[in-house]
Amino acid sequence: MSAGNKIWKKGAVLVTGAAGFIGSHLCRRLLAEGATVRGVDCFLPNYSRKIKEANLIDLITNKAFSFFEEDLYCAPIPKLLKDVGYVLHTAALPGVHKSWGQNFGDYIRNNIAATQLLLDACKGTDLVSLVYISSSSVYGDSKKSPLNERMPTQPVSPYGVTKLAGEHLALLYHQSYQIPVKVTRLFTVYGPGQRPDMAFYRFINTITEGKAVDFFGPPTPARDFTYIDDIVNGILACARFGKPGRIFNLGSGTSQPLDKVITILADIMEEELTINQVGHQMGDMLSTHADISRAKKELDYQPRVKIEEGLRQQTQWQLG
Protein backbone atom coordinates (compact mmCIF):
# COMPACT_ATOMS: atom_id res chain seq x y z
CA MET A 1 0.00 0.00 0.00
CA SER A 2 1.43 3.40 -1.01
CA ALA A 3 1.79 6.32 1.37
CA GLY A 4 -1.05 8.02 -0.48
CA ASN A 5 -3.38 5.07 0.01
CA LYS A 6 -2.62 5.15 3.72
CA ILE A 7 -3.49 8.85 3.85
CA TRP A 8 -6.82 8.57 2.03
CA LYS A 9 -7.80 5.02 3.02
CA LYS A 10 -11.09 5.96 4.73
CA GLY A 11 -13.14 6.30 1.56
CA ALA A 12 -13.10 8.15 -1.73
CA VAL A 13 -12.63 11.91 -1.95
CA LEU A 14 -15.47 13.91 -3.51
CA VAL A 15 -14.29 17.17 -5.08
CA THR A 16 -17.05 19.55 -6.13
CA GLY A 17 -16.12 22.08 -8.81
CA ALA A 18 -13.57 19.55 -10.08
CA ALA A 19 -13.22 21.17 -13.51
CA GLY A 20 -12.30 24.55 -12.06
CA PHE A 21 -8.92 26.09 -11.29
CA ILE A 22 -8.58 24.98 -7.67
CA GLY A 23 -10.73 21.85 -7.95
CA SER A 24 -8.72 20.35 -10.79
CA HIS A 25 -5.43 20.98 -8.97
CA LEU A 26 -6.84 19.26 -5.89
CA CYS A 27 -7.90 16.23 -7.95
CA ARG A 28 -4.47 16.01 -9.55
CA ARG A 29 -2.68 16.06 -6.19
CA LEU A 30 -5.07 13.57 -4.61
CA LEU A 31 -4.54 11.10 -7.46
CA ALA A 32 -0.78 11.51 -7.10
CA GLU A 33 -1.20 10.58 -3.43
CA GLY A 34 -3.07 7.40 -4.30
CA ALA A 35 -6.60 8.56 -3.49
CA THR A 36 -9.77 7.45 -5.25
CA VAL A 37 -11.31 10.70 -6.47
CA ARG A 38 -14.87 11.49 -7.52
CA GLY A 39 -15.21 14.83 -9.32
CA VAL A 40 -18.42 16.70 -9.97
CA ASP A 41 -18.96 19.90 -11.96
CA CYS A 42 -21.85 21.49 -13.86
CA PHE A 43 -19.71 23.74 -16.11
CA LEU A 44 -21.20 27.07 -15.09
CA PRO A 45 -20.95 29.56 -18.00
CA ASN A 46 -18.86 32.11 -16.08
CA TYR A 47 -16.02 31.31 -18.52
CA SER A 48 -15.44 28.97 -21.46
CA ARG A 49 -16.44 25.34 -21.03
CA LYS A 50 -13.47 24.39 -23.23
CA ILE A 51 -11.06 25.71 -20.60
CA LYS A 52 -12.76 23.64 -17.90
CA GLU A 53 -12.78 20.54 -20.08
CA ALA A 54 -9.05 21.05 -20.70
CA ASN A 55 -8.53 20.99 -16.91
CA LEU A 56 -9.94 17.45 -16.89
CA ILE A 57 -7.98 15.94 -19.79
CA ASP A 58 -5.22 14.36 -17.72
CA LEU A 59 -7.64 13.40 -14.93
CA ILE A 60 -10.23 11.37 -16.85
CA THR A 61 -7.60 8.95 -18.13
CA ASN A 62 -6.77 7.93 -14.55
CA LYS A 63 -8.66 4.81 -13.44
CA ALA A 64 -8.87 6.17 -9.89
CA PHE A 65 -10.84 9.20 -11.08
CA SER A 66 -14.52 9.29 -11.98
CA PHE A 67 -16.29 12.39 -13.22
CA PHE A 68 -19.96 13.36 -13.02
CA GLU A 69 -21.43 16.33 -14.85
CA GLU A 70 -24.04 17.32 -12.30
CA ASP A 71 -25.55 20.49 -10.86
CA LEU A 72 -25.51 20.14 -7.08
CA TYR A 73 -28.79 22.04 -6.90
CA CYS A 74 -30.60 19.12 -8.53
CA ALA A 75 -28.03 16.30 -8.45
CA PRO A 76 -28.51 12.88 -6.79
CA ILE A 77 -26.12 13.90 -4.02
CA PRO A 78 -26.61 10.78 -1.83
CA LYS A 79 -25.43 8.67 -4.78
CA LEU A 80 -22.37 10.90 -5.23
CA LEU A 81 -21.57 10.49 -1.54
CA LYS A 82 -21.62 6.68 -1.55
CA ASP A 83 -18.36 5.29 -0.10
CA VAL A 84 -16.98 8.85 0.25
CA GLY A 85 -14.85 9.66 3.28
CA TYR A 86 -13.87 13.24 2.42
CA VAL A 87 -15.64 16.12 0.69
CA LEU A 88 -13.76 19.14 -0.65
CA HIS A 89 -16.45 21.65 -1.58
CA THR A 90 -14.85 24.08 -4.00
CA ALA A 91 -17.90 24.45 -6.28
CA ALA A 92 -19.20 28.03 -6.39
CA LEU A 93 -20.00 30.86 -8.75
CA PRO A 94 -16.99 33.19 -8.31
CA GLY A 95 -16.55 36.84 -9.16
CA VAL A 96 -17.00 39.97 -7.07
CA HIS A 97 -17.98 42.40 -9.82
CA LYS A 98 -20.63 40.25 -11.50
CA SER A 99 -22.44 39.48 -8.27
CA TRP A 100 -24.34 42.77 -8.20
CA GLY A 101 -27.84 43.33 -9.58
CA GLN A 102 -29.92 40.67 -11.29
CA ASN A 103 -27.03 38.18 -11.32
CA PHE A 104 -27.33 37.79 -7.56
CA GLY A 105 -29.95 35.07 -7.94
CA ASP A 106 -27.36 32.86 -9.63
CA TYR A 107 -24.99 33.38 -6.68
CA ILE A 108 -27.71 32.47 -4.19
CA ARG A 109 -28.50 29.28 -6.12
CA ASN A 110 -24.94 28.10 -6.62
CA ASN A 111 -23.20 29.35 -3.49
CA ILE A 112 -25.88 29.07 -0.83
CA ALA A 113 -28.73 26.77 -1.89
CA ALA A 114 -26.48 24.13 -3.49
CA THR A 115 -24.23 24.17 -0.41
CA GLN A 116 -27.22 23.62 1.87
CA LEU A 117 -28.37 20.65 -0.21
CA LEU A 118 -24.90 19.10 -0.08
CA LEU A 119 -24.70 19.57 3.68
CA ASP A 120 -28.17 18.12 4.16
CA ALA A 121 -27.20 15.02 2.18
CA CYS A 122 -24.17 14.55 4.46
CA LYS A 123 -26.33 14.01 7.54
CA GLY A 124 -25.92 10.53 8.95
CA THR A 125 -22.95 9.62 6.74
CA ASP A 126 -19.55 8.39 7.91
CA LEU A 127 -17.58 11.33 6.59
CA VAL A 128 -14.13 11.87 8.02
CA SER A 129 -13.97 15.47 6.84
CA LEU A 130 -15.86 18.09 4.83
CA VAL A 131 -13.86 21.17 3.86
CA TYR A 132 -15.91 24.19 2.83
CA ILE A 133 -13.82 26.45 0.60
CA SER A 134 -14.55 30.06 1.50
CA SER A 135 -12.93 33.35 0.60
CA SER A 136 -11.11 36.29 2.15
CA SER A 137 -13.98 38.33 0.67
CA VAL A 138 -15.96 37.64 3.85
CA TYR A 139 -13.75 40.06 5.81
CA GLY A 140 -14.56 43.21 3.86
CA ASP A 141 -12.55 46.36 4.52
CA SER A 142 -11.25 45.80 8.02
CA LYS A 143 -9.18 48.60 9.48
CA LYS A 144 -6.93 46.03 11.15
CA SER A 145 -4.25 44.00 9.39
CA PRO A 146 -3.30 41.22 9.06
CA LEU A 147 -6.74 39.60 9.02
CA ASN A 148 -7.32 36.79 11.49
CA GLU A 149 -10.18 34.33 11.86
CA ARG A 150 -11.52 35.98 15.02
CA MET A 151 -12.18 39.34 13.36
CA PRO A 152 -15.71 40.51 12.52
CA THR A 153 -16.87 39.74 8.98
CA GLN A 154 -18.52 42.42 6.87
CA PRO A 155 -18.32 41.64 3.13
CA VAL A 156 -18.32 44.52 0.65
CA SER A 157 -19.72 42.49 -2.26
CA PRO A 158 -22.78 40.26 -2.78
CA TYR A 159 -20.36 37.44 -3.66
CA GLY A 160 -18.71 37.81 -0.26
CA VAL A 161 -22.15 37.72 1.37
CA THR A 162 -22.92 34.36 -0.27
CA LYS A 163 -19.59 32.85 0.79
CA LEU A 164 -20.16 34.00 4.36
CA ALA A 165 -23.67 32.50 4.27
CA GLY A 166 -22.13 29.23 3.09
CA GLU A 167 -19.74 29.31 6.04
CA HIS A 168 -22.59 29.83 8.48
CA LEU A 169 -24.56 26.97 6.95
CA ALA A 170 -21.57 24.64 7.08
CA LEU A 171 -20.83 25.44 10.72
CA LEU A 172 -24.53 25.17 11.60
CA TYR A 173 -24.66 21.64 10.16
CA HIS A 174 -21.54 20.79 12.14
CA GLN A 175 -23.13 22.04 15.33
CA SER A 176 -26.55 20.50 14.71
CA TYR A 177 -25.68 17.22 12.96
CA GLN A 178 -22.02 16.67 13.90
CA ILE A 179 -20.88 16.79 10.27
CA PRO A 180 -17.06 17.15 10.48
CA VAL A 181 -16.95 20.55 8.77
CA LYS A 182 -13.83 22.69 8.48
CA VAL A 183 -13.70 26.07 6.69
CA THR A 184 -10.80 27.50 4.71
CA ARG A 185 -10.71 31.16 3.71
CA LEU A 186 -8.55 31.50 0.61
CA PHE A 187 -6.62 34.66 -0.24
CA THR A 188 -6.15 35.53 -3.93
CA VAL A 189 -4.99 32.31 -5.61
CA TYR A 190 -2.82 32.33 -8.73
CA GLY A 191 -0.62 30.04 -10.79
CA PRO A 192 -0.92 27.73 -13.82
CA GLY A 193 -4.57 27.10 -14.66
CA GLN A 194 -5.82 30.40 -13.22
CA ARG A 195 -9.28 31.46 -14.39
CA PRO A 196 -9.23 33.85 -17.37
CA ASP A 197 -11.29 36.45 -15.49
CA MET A 198 -8.70 36.78 -12.72
CA ALA A 199 -6.25 39.65 -12.52
CA PHE A 200 -2.91 38.02 -13.31
CA TYR A 201 -4.32 36.15 -16.30
CA ARG A 202 -5.71 39.41 -17.67
CA PHE A 203 -2.51 41.34 -16.91
CA ILE A 204 -0.35 38.82 -18.77
CA ASN A 205 -2.58 38.97 -21.83
CA THR A 206 -2.72 42.76 -21.75
CA ILE A 207 1.05 43.17 -21.42
CA THR A 208 1.60 40.66 -24.24
CA GLU A 209 -0.68 42.69 -26.50
CA GLY A 210 1.28 45.87 -25.72
CA LYS A 211 -1.73 47.56 -24.13
CA ALA A 212 -1.94 49.59 -20.95
CA VAL A 213 -2.82 47.63 -17.82
CA ASP A 214 -5.94 48.98 -16.11
CA PHE A 215 -5.03 49.58 -12.49
CA PHE A 216 -8.17 49.68 -10.34
CA GLY A 217 -8.46 51.02 -6.84
CA PRO A 218 -6.55 53.47 -4.64
CA PRO A 219 -2.94 54.45 -5.49
CA THR A 220 -1.42 51.59 -3.48
CA PRO A 221 -3.82 48.60 -3.18
CA ALA A 222 -2.16 45.48 -1.80
CA ARG A 223 -3.14 41.82 -1.87
CA ASP A 224 -2.12 38.56 -0.26
CA PHE A 225 -1.37 36.49 -3.38
CA THR A 226 -1.11 32.75 -2.77
CA TYR A 227 0.35 30.19 -5.17
CA ILE A 228 -1.91 27.31 -6.12
CA ASP A 229 0.41 24.56 -4.81
CA ASP A 230 0.48 26.20 -1.38
CA ILE A 231 -3.32 26.44 -1.37
CA VAL A 232 -3.66 22.75 -2.30
CA ASN A 233 -1.27 21.83 0.53
CA GLY A 234 -3.37 23.85 2.96
CA ILE A 235 -6.74 22.43 1.90
CA LEU A 236 -5.52 18.82 2.07
CA ALA A 237 -3.89 19.44 5.45
CA CYS A 238 -7.18 20.90 6.66
CA ALA A 239 -9.05 17.80 5.45
CA ARG A 240 -6.65 15.53 7.34
CA PHE A 241 -5.73 17.48 10.47
CA GLY A 242 -8.19 20.35 10.88
CA LYS A 243 -10.43 20.30 13.92
CA PRO A 244 -14.13 20.22 12.97
CA GLY A 245 -15.82 23.55 13.49
CA ARG A 246 -12.64 25.55 12.89
CA ILE A 247 -11.95 28.29 10.33
CA PHE A 248 -8.50 28.59 8.76
CA ASN A 249 -6.98 31.41 6.71
CA LEU A 250 -4.94 30.08 3.78
CA GLY A 251 -2.76 32.79 2.30
CA SER A 252 0.89 33.59 1.78
CA GLY A 253 1.09 35.59 4.98
CA THR A 254 2.44 38.60 3.05
CA SER A 255 0.80 41.53 1.30
CA GLN A 256 2.16 42.77 -2.04
CA PRO A 257 1.49 46.22 -3.56
CA LEU A 258 -0.33 45.62 -6.82
CA ASP A 259 1.78 48.06 -8.83
CA LYS A 260 4.92 46.20 -7.73
CA VAL A 261 3.45 42.87 -8.79
CA ILE A 262 2.52 44.21 -12.23
CA THR A 263 6.09 45.48 -12.64
CA ILE A 264 7.45 42.03 -11.71
CA LEU A 265 5.23 40.51 -14.39
CA ALA A 266 6.47 42.91 -17.05
CA ASP A 267 10.09 42.20 -16.07
CA ILE A 268 9.53 38.44 -16.31
CA MET A 269 7.96 38.89 -19.74
CA GLU A 270 10.64 41.39 -20.79
CA GLU A 271 7.95 43.76 -22.00
CA GLU A 272 7.43 47.49 -21.55
CA LEU A 273 4.71 48.42 -19.10
CA THR A 274 2.10 51.17 -19.19
CA ILE A 275 -0.36 51.48 -16.31
CA ASN A 276 -3.72 53.18 -16.68
CA GLN A 277 -4.99 54.34 -13.28
CA VAL A 278 -8.73 53.62 -13.05
CA GLY A 279 -11.15 54.36 -10.22
CA HIS A 280 -12.05 51.93 -7.48
CA GLN A 281 -14.44 49.13 -8.48
CA MET A 282 -17.43 48.53 -6.22
CA GLY A 283 -16.99 45.32 -4.23
CA ASP A 284 -13.18 45.27 -4.31
CA MET A 285 -11.46 45.09 -0.95
CA LEU A 286 -8.88 47.85 -0.50
CA SER A 287 -6.23 45.45 0.79
CA THR A 288 -5.80 41.89 2.06
CA HIS A 289 -3.18 40.32 4.29
CA ALA A 290 -3.73 36.92 5.90
CA ASP A 291 -2.74 36.08 9.43
CA ILE A 292 -1.90 32.39 8.92
CA SER A 293 -0.66 31.63 12.42
CA ARG A 294 -3.59 29.30 13.19
CA ALA A 295 -3.05 27.25 10.01
CA LYS A 296 0.69 27.08 10.72
CA LYS A 297 0.12 25.84 14.26
CA GLU A 298 -2.76 23.42 13.71
CA LEU A 299 -2.19 22.25 10.11
CA ASP A 300 1.57 22.67 9.78
CA TYR A 301 0.76 24.93 6.83
CA GLN A 302 3.91 26.48 5.36
CA PRO A 303 3.50 28.49 2.13
CA ARG A 304 6.76 28.22 0.21
CA VAL A 305 6.38 29.79 -3.24
CA LYS A 306 7.53 33.42 -3.45
CA ILE A 307 5.64 35.83 -5.68
CA GLU A 308 8.45 36.11 -8.26
CA GLU A 309 8.67 32.34 -8.77
CA GLY A 310 4.91 31.90 -8.78
CA LEU A 311 4.42 34.60 -11.41
CA ARG A 312 7.18 33.04 -13.51
CA GLN A 313 5.38 29.69 -13.38
CA GLN A 314 2.04 31.20 -14.36
CA THR A 315 3.58 33.24 -17.17
CA GLN A 316 5.38 30.21 -18.62
CA TRP A 317 2.14 28.19 -18.49
CA GLN A 318 -0.02 30.94 -19.96
CA LEU A 319 2.30 31.94 -22.78
CA GLY A 320 3.61 28.44 -23.45
What is the sign of the dihedral through the CA atoms of 23, 26, 32 and 37?
negative
Tell me the C-alpha distance between 148 and 67, whole Å. 36
Contact 250, 292 (CB under 8 A): yes
Sheet holding 247-250, edge to edge: 65-69, 37-41, 12-16, 84-89, 129-135, 181-186, 247-250
159 is catalytic: yes
Q: From start to end of 108-171, where are the E strands? A: 129-135
Q: DSSP letter string over 96-109?
A: SGGGSGGGHHHHII
Query: Buried b vs exposed e over 68-80: b needs ≥16 C-beta within 10 Å?
Result: eebebeebebeeb
* Selected catalytic residue, list 159, 173, 190, 227: 159
Q: For residue 141, how far is the Cα from the chain centroid? A: 20
Q: Helix, strand, or coil here: 213? A: strand
Tell me the C-alpha distance between 240 and 238, whole Å. 5
Q: Helix, strand, or coil here: 162? A: helix
Contact 46, 74 (CB under 8 A): no
Contact 102, 152 (CB under 8 A): no
In the Cβ-directed half-sphere of 68, how many Cα atoms lie within 13 Å? 17
Q: Which residues are catalytic?
A: 159
